[in-house]
């Protein structure tokens, strides 16, 4: 099984990403979860990550709280999408599983130093502050990272938080730049691909038809979370972003993308956090990321439902 750490700011879609990873123990060995502020403040993202592990019957997962704000900027949250708790849509019991004492950044550093070099993949579903802080504080861990798979950015689909920028990158563009320039293999899962993973009524009905508690909760979460985007985009369902990070590891054959150069705008106020993706290779800047662009969404939802039904 592939060893991963999930760095996350749950968020309903983050929670579904965690559940998908936990539903695939033969392919994915989840070494731990690190939380970061984002959709809601850190205290709530940490609580939501615990709730999610408990829903999956996995209170044993090492869970570490991380950075409560971006490297240099004020935190923007997104209660207007995720609700006041960050995980509105289905009430679950208050979590009791422990939060580990070590800060997420220390856990990342220690784990990467301990594990065989090139065996641990970092899967990020929020702003990249924890990862960038770990890379800056302990540069020796960088070459030990197998790769980074990050939900973030946009090119043809441009922005969802500003006209130019996607939320995770906008929140901490300096952190995103550090990660992209680290020289390790980065796969970006941008809005270009997540906006193809729409939770249509048929796909939600299939999830409910699975008839399990987890599938029911997930359908309630997605139903809450997507309302905002459905209204906004006029699409037949809202996009399910973060689970695609895990889906890429499990089923790369469902995706296509390009190895290209991606730079992050950190200066301009107007386009702050924009992922300037050289999709047409019009510069000679070297490729630094695999930028995903397309997805077989029917197959993704079918497999997601099948896997979640096993929890």
Q: Which residues bind ligand BDR (CB under 6 A)?
A: 11, 13-14, 39, 78, 81, 125-126, 151, 160, 166-168, 241-242
What does 157 interact with, of ligand BDR, Ca ion, none (CB < 5 to 8 A by kind)? none
Contact 122, 147 (CB under 8 A): yes
Looking at beta carbons only, is 45 or 109 nearer to ligand BDR?
45
- When binding is defined by CB under 5 A, the residue of 4, 6, 7, 11 that contacts Ca ion is 11
x/- binding map, residues 65-94, to Ca ion, per CB under 5 A? ------------------------------
Measured CA to CA, the distance from residue 130 to residue 68 in angstroms comes to 9
Looking at beta carbons only, is 11 or 95 nearer to Ca ion?
11
Please tell me which residue in 64, 82, 195, 241 is annotated as part of the active site.
241
What does 177 interact with, of Ca ion, ligand BDR, none (CB < 5 to 8 A by kind)? none
What does 220 interact with, of ligand BDR, Ca ion, none (CB < 5 to 8 A by kind)? none
Measured CA to CA, the distance from residue 104 to residue 112 in angstroms comes to 12
Rounded (to 5) percent helix, strand, coil in the chain = 40, 20, 40
Q: Which helix (H) or strand (E) holds 19?
A: helix 12-22
Looking at beta carbons only, is 41 or 138 nearer to Ca ion?
41
**14 touches Ca ion by CB under 5 A:** yes
What does 160 interact with, of ligand BDR, Ca ion, none (CB < 5 to 8 A by kind)? ligand BDR
241 carries an active-site annotation: yes
Q: How many residues does the structure list for the chain?
A: 311
Measured CA to CA, the distance from residue 124 to residue 102 in angstroms comes to 19
What values do phi and psi take at 188, rounded to 5? -100, 135
Measured CA to CA, the distance from residue 55 to residue 311 in angstroms comes to 9
Smallest separation, CB 227 to ligand BDR (Å): 14
Q: Quick one: CA dihedral 157, 171, 87, 104, positive or negative?
A: positive
Which of 91, 90, 18, 92 minimizes the C-alpha distance to 61?
Answer: 18
Smallest separation, CB 122 to Ca ion (Å): 14
- Please identify every residue annotated as catalytic: 241
Residues that bind Ca ion in the complex, under the rule CB under 5 A: 9, 11, 14, 125-126, 242
């Amino acid at each position: 099984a592939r060893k991963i750490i999930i760095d996350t700011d749950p968020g309903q879609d983050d929670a579904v990403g965690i559940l998908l990873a936990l539903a695939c123990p033969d392919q994915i060995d989840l070494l731990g979860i690190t939380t970061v502020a984002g959709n809601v403040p850190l205290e709530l993202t940490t609580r939501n990550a615990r709730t999610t592990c408990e829903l999956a019957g996995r209170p044993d997962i090492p869970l570490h709280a991380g950075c409560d704000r971006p490297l240099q900027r004020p935190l923007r949250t997104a209660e207007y999408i995720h609700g006041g708790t960050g995980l509105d849509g289905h009430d679950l019991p208050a979590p009791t599983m422990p939060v580990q004492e070590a800060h997420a950044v220390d856990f990342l550093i220690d784990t990467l130093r301990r594990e065989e070099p090139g065996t641990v993949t970092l899967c990020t579903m929020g702003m990249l502050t924890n990862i960038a802080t770990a890379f800056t504080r302990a540069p020796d861990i960088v070459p030990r990272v197998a790769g980074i798979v990050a939900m973030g950015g946009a090119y043809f689909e441009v922005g969802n938080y500003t006209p130019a920028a996607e939320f995770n990158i906008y929140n901490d563009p300096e952190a995103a730049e550090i990660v992209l320039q680290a020289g390790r293999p980065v796969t970006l899962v941008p809005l270009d691909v997540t906006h193809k993973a729409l939770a249509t009524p048929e796909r939600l009905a299939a999830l409910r038809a699975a008839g399990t508690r987890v599938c029911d909760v997930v359908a309630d979460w997605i139903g809450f979370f997507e309302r905002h985007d459905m209204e906004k985009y006029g699409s037949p369902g809202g996009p399910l972003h973060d689970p695609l990070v895990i889906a890429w590891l499990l089923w790369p054959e469902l995706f296509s993308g390009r190895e290209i150069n991606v730079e992050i705008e950190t200066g301009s106020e107007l386009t702050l956090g924009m992922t300037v993706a050289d999709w047409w290779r019009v510069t000679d800047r070297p490729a630094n990321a695999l930028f995903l662009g397309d997805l077989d969404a029917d197959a993704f939802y079918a497999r997601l439902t099948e896997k979640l039904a096993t929890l």
